[in-house]
Structure 1
Amino acid sequence: MPDRRAPGPPPAASIARLLMRRSSARAGLLASAAATVAVAVATVCLVLAWLGRAVAVAGDPPPPGVDAADVADQVAAGAAALASAAPALVVLVALLAGTAVAQLARLIAAAREHETATVRARGFSRTQAWTTDAAEGAAVALTGSAAGLVVAAAATALAGVGPLAGLGAWPWALALAVLLTAVFAVALRRGEGRRTSARAPRATTAAVVVVLLLATGLVVWQLPLARGTGFDPIVAVAPAVVLSAGAVVALAVFGALAVAWARPAASAPGLEPGYPARQVARRIPIFAVAVLLVALTVAQAVFTAAYGATWTAMTSDSAAVRAGADLRVDTTPRAATPADVADAAAVRGVDAAAGALTADVEVGELEAQLVAVPAASLDTVVTTAGGLIDLDALDALDATADGAVAAAPVDLGDAATALRVTVDVAGIDGAYAVPVLLSAVVLDATGTPAVVGLAGDPAPEGQGRVSYTAQGDLPAGTAPWRVLAVLLGTPPSPAPPQVSVALTAAEAVGGADLDLEGSASLTNGTREAVLWLADGGSGADDGSGADGEELPVAAAVTPALADSLGIGVGDELEFRYSGVGRRGVAVVASLVDAVPGTSSAFALFAPMETLLVSQLQRGTSIVPPDAVWAAGDTDAEDAFSAALGDRPVATSAPGVAADVVGALVPGWWIATIGSSVLSLVAALAIVQTLAIARRRELGVLRAAGVTARRQARMRAAELGGVFGAAVVLGAAAGVLVSVLIVPSLVRAVTPGILSIAGGVEISWMPLGIAVAGLVIGLAAIVAAAAAAVRRAARTATVGEDAR
């Protein structure tokens, strides 16, 4: 018969009161969970506020000489790339926060084991359990979210951005709060309903590890193919997935090391180090989450330091290769003159300047770029681009290879102001001598060429011969000057000329006589010729180069161009200047990974002087430089632009689009700081819970004669060893993750990165500060735990159940 004295189902008010008391009994752990949510929400809001501000202020003020529409396009490109990378920070913070909240929920469930059994005994159903756990999770998330939004608003207000900037990301905060509510409720419910068998959790854990490693392989495979033009799921999850895999590997190594160390440590006499080592080996499941969180945070710090340094190096090196020098102004469609170079060199902050040529050429069916810079400017103007440009190989081109054209311009002297030449003109086969036009190609001290017209009155000498003395002033530029060639032509006339011309004397006005000799004939309709060419005798036996062999110019070629043409060092290639129809021939003197001044994979480089000689061997005109390159401070770009007609300036610093994406670097550091706080909160909660669970152990050790100080020292060694190993293993995991994905991630989210830019670099100073802050926090937790053990061990007794 039923017991009439048994009470009926408890009233709802009684259950609600019981649940409230149950929650208040674990207020510390619930507060830790709320603090975790608050840190996560504040971190996400601050990161997104920072990135949003970076987009808002990008291109303000605009670069000198750049149209506002072009700046807007660059900002839009940077914003699109940023949109593909920003979710990665949110995903990683959510992952850390979710892991910490789940562990705290499991600790709460473990601490409530007796209360849960009591509530079930009073008729608490499964549906009611889910409802109350979800309500408790919602209360924790709501409290934490409110606190996090307040912190974010205060932080942005103190930064001068305004509190609304911190609150602008509230939809993301709401989504994160909902996610953490679900994680807390599920973890709490699973902890309350756990079974004694560990087979299912182990199988689940193994499956998660396998899935995580497979996802890591997929990310490493696909990330190099990603491009930052919008949201990309691979880019969004890449850091979180690979860092999680690294932390899991670190955890596995920690478990193996803990078990391996416990055996030799236990064989040592006394309690130390055997006792702490055995305790860690026995409680690996308890320490696992703490190790995982700390290792993941340290790995994230290493990843952030590597990402920041690698991003800076890759963007700066790519911009430097593309510009060719610290500062660059393209003067197209007009030529860059020695006067332009002199004006640029006079700008404050500019150390040296030179004229340079970047011409589109056709090599067979390939479109390539030809770059020429004066040999003397290689060491003073051309950038090394972080070592991507091999200046030694480019310098060696000036020592011309056998069979290549040489350049030997004649010095006019420091005080020269003009060039004067004397020529004799004679008719051929009874023809009368006709007037001729004379000009000279001169180079200033920087190697920038200019064409100087030479004028004079003819002096008839009889028998159809005419003598000319023609003179031309040197243009504005940088002395001393050198003469590279003397050119001959005739004015338009109905009948073609039939004359021979001989250069009989040359003089630098204000300087000395010049040893220049040359001759040319204008016959068969020819109206132009090179009268004298400073080819060092390589073009013809008489040194004139007018009728001699047309030799190739020594050039450095990129491997991509050489491979496409199937040629190597010592082979020749013919090219055509696009749009003008003239041709040239180059001999491959060396292979270089990058050619300064171009981002094309198909490129070749030649010294300016030898390229001009090669051009004059094949014609009577030159292809002049079309840009001014300068070495100096990139902050001088405003004055540099003004000196060259307010033209746009390309610098070796990243452009507007890259600057927008560069906001990710401090964004990652903000996320890393938030992750460190999350790890410390979770580590503190885990240590406190562990201390509560091991209170009886203190009495046993005291009864065995172990002093309170020694117990505190062993607990400190135990926790210090666990956290220290987690820091070291996390750093190793961070290095591995950085090598695997950082260069690919930088390319995926930053437009304009060249394929030759790569390698992983690390910002050691901020990394040291970040890890030191985390270590100090962990040391404080260990010290507090040791102090608590020492206090409790002084009065701990062995209960009757423990005897």
Structure 2
Amino acid sequence: MPDRRALSSARLLAVRARARSGLLASAAATVAVAIATVCLVLAWLARAVAVAGDPPPPGVPAEEVAAQVEAGATALASASPALVLLVVLLAGTAVAQLAGLIAAAREHETAAIRARGFSRAQAWLADAAEGVAPALAGAVAGVILAVVVSLLAGAAVADVLAQWLWATGTALALAAVFAVALRRGERRRTSARGARTTAAALVVLVLLASALVVWQLPLARGAGFDPIVAVAPAVVLMAGAIVALAVFGAAAVAWSRPAAAAAGLEPGYPARQVARRIPIYAAAVVLVALTVAQAVFTSAYGATWQTMTTDSAAVRAGADLRVDTAPQTVDSEDVAVSSDVEGVDAAASALVTPVEIGSTEAQLVAVPSEAIEPVVASAGGLIDKEALAAAVTAGGTEVVASEPVPLGDAATGLAVTATLMSSSQTVGAVSLHALLLDGTGTPEAVSLEGELAVDGEGTVTLAADAELPAGAAPWRLAALLASSGPSMAGAEVVVTIAGIEAVGAGPLEIAGQTVLDGGGDDAVVWLGDGGVLADAPAIEDAALPPVAAVVTSALASRLGIGVGDPVEFRYAGTGRQGGAVVSSVVAAVPGATSELALFVPMETLLISQLQRGTSIVPPGSVWAAGDPSADDELSAALRDRPVTTSAPGVTASVVGALVPGWWIATAGSAVLSLVAAFAIVQTLAIARRRELGVLRALGVGHRRQARMRAAELGGVFGAAVLLGAAAGGLVSWLIVPELVRAVTPGILSIVGGVTIAWVPLAAAVAALVAGLAVIVAAAAAGVGRAARSATVGEESR
């Protein structure tokens, strides 16, 4: 007998819930997956900040490491809400669709209880209660799921539980979406026009918001919380999914017409069914397309972030490993010690110094030409090594030539004999100095020790020698200088080279002469510049040949110069000047932290400096090629100095936690899509049971009906996957490089372009497609079973 007891509100809710327990369970599962994903993502990011800088980079003070971690955490705080927002949006879409399916299934009972006096306030209360129940159950299940996953992954459970506030907020938001969508679905028959207007307004709002994001994102920088950065991925991906849905709808309608004209049921029947049920399939298409687009975006973001940060770090470092020794200088022993470090393949000295070109401040970088190929980093092709090496000649233009004299492989020292002539009767103290270049091109100033001797004819001779420094052979002599000590007489002294010998290798054919003007003077006796200084010792600076320089395009644009144009520069903080001619214009100069920079081969720069004076600007850095993980050993070898590597630093590494965070969010989104797609397909199968008896009566067997349903669902999901991939590619092209710049400090403006990690992307899409294939197969099998016994009479009653 029927139950004639009056239904209380609580009993009514219980009866309604039991009648649609499957859909309510799907809603609870959706909430659980969303909360688990949010907790895991935020726990991962929090853990990344907590362990950043441990162990600290070698030689870097603790307070500097803390500042770098703080800068990374600040940038991360601006970008991390995007992951949560995207998961909540996708879960909200799924929950809203499930609520709509529940409302559609309750259409008759809703009309019945409304006719019996069920008020609007009671309806809202009932819908709110049904929204809270799945959200509460899902929240508990989601936290448990997140804890289980963290235990399996070996993560700290405390980090997951610490995200309780975010889990609560997510549950409340999804409960509100469920209740509103349920109530809206129950009123759909009386407010269809308003619903369509609201949906259209939301679509326009999302598209306008995405346009605003694409416009403003290039101006964002990770110096604090930026709402544009926080919403950019979610808004633009959602806009891409909406565009994909629009394309799907138009394509489905367009394909149904020629398909229907074909003979037989296939492909016309499945195509017409899809075209007629686009509003029902819309949620599944949006969810699947959004998930695939998110996977493409995540793959592009991860690969592009890695490329941009690594290339930027390589350009700034100049080599795989770099040690700055300022205010001390680098000698040949430092380079030799660095070369012997395990994991280092080659090492060289380098000079990075500020210069002034008119009112423009720039950086001058110098590296020995023989070290360009083995030591200088290519930075993903941003550094043009061929242009740097070609700067020695500058394409035939008359420039400074560097022609040091080799001492020979067997040389162990240098001995110099010089004659001294003075305008007075006495010759004061005179000393000789040699500028040597070791096998790596590192300059080394050596003082020669000796004594004055007077022969029988009154000629004063200075014989001086010195051992070669500890460095890489073979050595070369680049210059010989003389200096006079304090003298009361102040008379001129003419210094003439009588002979030079590489001890252990033989004499050198070098001749030179200079004049020391009184006491305390310095002068170049001989210079390996191809005879320029020897031929014209009194040449003016303006007539001296320039060095060939490679300038960045930013500096060339700032100065309005091009290849072949002269450039006069001053060493910052000194009165020294230099002249250069542009040999080529490149995107970046290795080792420069400024976009305004120029590169000069070290040997020609040294020769140019000695043509214009008697001292050089010594190198202040050691550059090494090898494994960046050798930074600890290299720091220890160079007296515990900080080491800069071509790998992203502490700050970038903190922000890099977003890459696995995005993959966690993508995995959660895929599960959300599969849960929602399964619920939608099952509900659709229940609503279309009447078709099966009619088709059977028309002679369509159960196997053929199963194939048609599989083709229908497979076509919908396949189109959604393809359209989602296209939307993800478009979104990645639009915002990924600018998003990386906005959230990662230190990215150079010359670094850009989208790179995709194909292997993880293929794995993610394959897993999603496999899940969808299981759903399609299950739905087709269900249709086949139901079609065996379906009759027209049963469905007509």
Q: Does 1:423 align with 2:418?
A: yes
Letter of the 2:422 partner, please give it.
Answer: G
Matches of 1:539 and 1:272 in 2, distance apart? 91
Q: Which residue of structure 2 lines up, in the alignment, with residue 360 of structure 1?
A: 354
Q: Matched residues in 2 for 1:649 and 1:93: separation?
A: 40
Q: Which residue in 1 is equivalent to 2:608?
A: 614
2:332–2:470 Cα contact (<8 Å) kept: yes
Deviation at 1:517, TM superposition (A): 1.4
Q: 5 Å matches for 1:431-580?
A: 432-461=426-455, 465-523=459-517, 527-539=521-533, 541=535, 549-580=543-574
Once the two structures are TM-superposed, the CA of residue 560 in structure 1 deviates from its matched residue by 1.8
- What corresponds to 2:406 in structure 1? 411
Secondary structure at 1:65's aligned position in 2? coil
Which residue of 691, 702, 725 corresponds with 1:731? 725
Deviations 1:434-458 (A, max 9, x none): 4421111001100000001112222
Q: Find the counterpart in structure 2 of residue 271 from structure 1.
A: 265
Amino acid at match of 1:411: P
* CA distance in 1 between partners of 2:777 and 2:401 (Å): 75
Aligned to 2:310: 316
Q: Is the 8 A contact 2:568 2:578 kept in 1?
A: yes
| C-alpha distance in structure 2 between counterparts of 1:34 and 1:223, whole Å | 36
Check conservation: 1:546, 1:617, Cα contact below 8 A.
no
AA matched with 2:449: A
1:680 aligns with 2:666: no
2-structure distance, mates of 1:182, 1:255: 29
Please tell me the root mean square deviation across aligned C-alpha atoms, in Å.
1.8
Measured in 2, the distance between the counterparts of 1:211 and 1:590 equals: 49
Q: Give distance in 2, aligned partners of 1:315 and 1:424.
A: 59
Answering whether residue 64 of structure 2 is matched by residue 70 of structure 1, we say yes
Q: 2:744 is matched with which residue: 734, 738, 750?
A: 750
Paired letter, 2:120: R
Other-structure match for 1:371: 365
Partner of residue 3, structure 1: none
Q: Which of 145, 163, 167 is the equivalent residue of 1:169?
A: 163
What do the CA deviations read for 1:344-382 (whole angstroms, capped 9, x no partner)?
000000000001011111111122111100000000011
CA distance in 2, matches of 1:490, 1:509: 25
What is aligned with 1:6?
Answer: none
> What's the CA shift for 1:77?
0.7
Alignment partner, residue 778 of structure 2:
784
| 1:533–1:545 CA contact under 8 A, matched in 2 | no
How many Å separate the matches in 2 of 1:736 and 1:480?
Answer: 56
Q: Which moved more, 1:437-446 or 1:190-199?
A: 190-199
Corresponding letter in the other structure for 1:42 = A
Match of 1:190 in 2: 184
Q: Which moved more, 1:491-500 or 1:523-532?
A: 523-532
> C-alpha distance in 2, partners of 1:545/1:107?
92
- Distance of aligned partners of 1:640 and 1:545 in 2 relative to their CA distance in 1, 3 Å threshold: farther
- In the comparison of the two structures, how many residue pairs are matched? 793
Structure 1 residue 538, shift from structure 2 partner? 4.4
The alpha carbon displacement at 1:203 in A equals 2.5
- Looking at structure 2, the residues matched to 12 and 456 of structure 1 have their Cα atoms a distance apart, in angstroms, of 120
Post-superposition Cα deviations, 1:629-657, rounded to whole Å, max 9, x if no partner, equal 10001111110000000001000011111
Identity %: 68
Residue 282 of structure 1 pairs with residue 276 of structure 2:
yes
TM-score by length of 1: 0.96
Map Cα deviations across residues 105-137 of structure 1 (whole Å, 9 max, x no partner).
Answer: 000000111111221122111100000100010
Partner of 1:4: none
> Once the two structures are superposed, what CA deviation does each residue of 1:574-620 show, in whole Å capped at 9, x if it has no partner?
21112232111111111111111112011111000000000000111
Cα gap change, 1:544 to 1:680, in 2 (>3 Å) = farther
The answer to whether residue 211 in structure 2 is matched with residue 200 in structure 1 is: no
Tell me how far 1:528 sits from its aligned partner: 1.3
Contact 1:455/1:470 (<8 A) preserved: yes
**C-alpha separation in 1, matches of 2:70 and 2:542:** 56
Unaligned runs of 5+ residues in structure 2 are none
CA contact (8 A) 2:77 2:225 kept: yes
| Distance in 1 between residues matched to 2:538 and 2:629, nearest whole Å | 46
Instruction: Give the secondary structure class of the aligned counterpart of 2:696.
Output: helix
Q: Is the 8 A contact 2:552 2:597 kept in 1?
A: yes
What letter corresponds to residue 228 of structure 2 in structure 1? I
Instruction: Please tell me the residue identity of whatever aligns with 1:406.
Output: A
SS of 2:728's partner is helix
1:601 to 592, 595, 603: 595
Amino acid aligned to 2:328: R
Call closer, same or farther: CA 1:698–1:427 in 2, change over 3 Å: same
Unmatched tracts of structure 1, length 5 or more: 1-9
2:323 pairs with 318, 329, 352, which one? Answer: 329
CA contact (8 A) 1:361 1:575 kept: yes
Whole-Å separation in 1 of the counterparts to 2:620 and 2:109: 83
Q: Are residues 544 and 159 of structure 1, via their aligned partners in 2, closer, same or farther at CA, if it must alter by over 3 Å?
A: farther
> CA–CA distance in 2 between the matches of 1:126 and 1:254?
37
Following TM superposition, by how much is the alpha carbon of 1:162 offset from its aligned partner in structure 2, in angstroms? 2.9
The DSSP-based 3-state class of the residue aligned with 1:124 is: coil
Question: What amino acid does structure 2 have at the position aligned with 1:368?
Answer: A
For 2:25, the aligned partner's letter is: A
Structure 2 SS opposite 1:379: helix
CA offsets 1:65-110 (integer angstroms, 9 cap, x no match): 1111111111111111111111111110110010000000000000
> Cα–Cα, structure 1 residues 26 and 801, in superposed 2: closer, same or farther, change >3 Å?
closer
Conservation of the 8 A alpha-carbon contact between 1:534 and 1:544: no
Which residue in the other structure is 1:700 paired with?
694
| Partners of 2:12 and 2:129 in 1: CA distance | 15
Q: How far, CA to CA, are the matches of 1:496 and 1:569 in structure 2?
A: 47
8 Å CA contact 2:487, 2:518 repeated in 1? no
Distance change (3 Å), C-alpha of 1:548 and 1:99? closer
Q: Secondary structure at the match of 1:413?
A: coil
Change (3 A) 1:798 1:678: same
Q: 1:27 aligns with which of 21, 24, 37?
A: 21
Q: Equivalents in 1 of 2:321, 2:432: separation in Å?
A: 36
Instruction: Tell whether 2:89 aligns with 1:95.
Output: yes
C-alpha displacement of 1:270? 1.1
Aligned 8 A contact 1:354 1:381 in 2: yes
- In 1, distance between residues paired with 2:318 and 2:703? 66
SS of 1:457's equivalent in the other structure is strand
Q: Residue 76 of structure 1: SS of its match in structure 2? A: helix
- TM-fit CA distance, 1:512: 2.4
Q: Whole-Å Cα distance in 2 between the matches of residues 146 and 363 of structure 1?
A: 66
Contact map agreement 1:529 1:546 (CA 8 A) in 2: no
1:709-738 Cα offsets, whole Å, 9 max, x none, are 111111111111110110011001001000
| TM-score, structure 2 normalization | 0.97
Distance 1:188 1:262 in 2: 32
Q: Please say which of residues 151-160 and 89-98 is displaced more in the overlay.
A: 151-160
Which deviates further from its counterpart, 202-211 or 335-344? 202-211
**Residue 495 of structure 1: how far off its partner (Å):** 2.9
* 1:251–1:540 Cα change, 3 Å: farther
Q: Tell me, yes or no, if the aligned pair for 2:488 and 2:519 is still in contact at 8 Å.
A: no
1:565 deviation in Å?
1.9
Equivalent position of 1:142 in the other structure: 136
CA-CA distance at 1:207 after TM superposition: 1.8
Q: Structure 2: how far apart are the matches of 1:788 and 1:680? A: 18
Comparing 454-463 with 83-92, greater Cα deviation is found at 454-463
